[in-house]
Amino acid sequence: TQLLEQSPQFLSIQEGENLTVYCNSSSVFSSLQWYRQEPGEGPVLLVTVVTGGEVKKLKRLTFQFGDARKDSSLHITAAQPGDTGLYLCAGTNTGNQFYFGTGTSLTVIP
């Protein structure tokens, strides 16, 4: 069962544009992580959000956890080619099992 749906699945934009990636579920999560993965490598943890409504910023990336802790968004301002990669969200409930989203493949064209 796929608990987390990400949209869009693919995104190709020009350098300097803004974008938002969504991660949605019908389940409540106690925490949610965002990762970026480059081809042939493992995902790299970007951020963890744990409180409903929480907003975290990482340079040009802004992460928000939904009030009901069922969804999250990732907004990138002024995208750069170095932002290219596969973005994955992952939710956890009680315990240590992670449920991964379907992924969003981002390409930023110089």
Partner 1 sequence: KAGVTQTPRYLIKTRGQQVTLSCSPISGHRSVSWYQQTPGQGLQFLFEYFSETQRNKGNFPGRFSGRQFSNSRSEMNVSTLELGDSALYLCASSLEAGTYYEQYFGPGTRLTVT
Smallest separation (angstroms) from partner 1 to the CB of 35: 8
Window of 53-61, 62-70, 74-82, 100-108 that interacts with partner 1 by CB under 8 A: 100-108
Smallest separation (angstroms) from partner 1 to the CB of 45: 6
Q: What span, in angstroms and rounded, lies between the C-alpha atoms of 74 and 58?
A: 10
Q: Per CB under 8 A, which of residues 18..57 are in contact with partner 1? A: 30-31, 33, 35, 40-45, 48, 50
Q: Which of 14, 26, 97, 110 binds partner 1 (CB under 8 A)?
A: 97
Residue (of 85, 97, 95) closest to 3 by Cα position: 97
C-alpha radius of gyration, the chain, whole number: 13
Smallest separation (angstroms) from partner 1 to the CB of 110: 25
Q: What span, in angstroms and rounded, lies between the C-alpha atoms of 108 and 110?
A: 6
Q: What span, in angstroms and rounded, lies between the C-alpha atoms of 54 and 12?
A: 28
DSSP code of residue 9: S
Binding site for partner 1 (CB under 8 A): 30-31, 33, 35, 40-45, 48, 50, 88, 90, 92, 95-100, 102-103
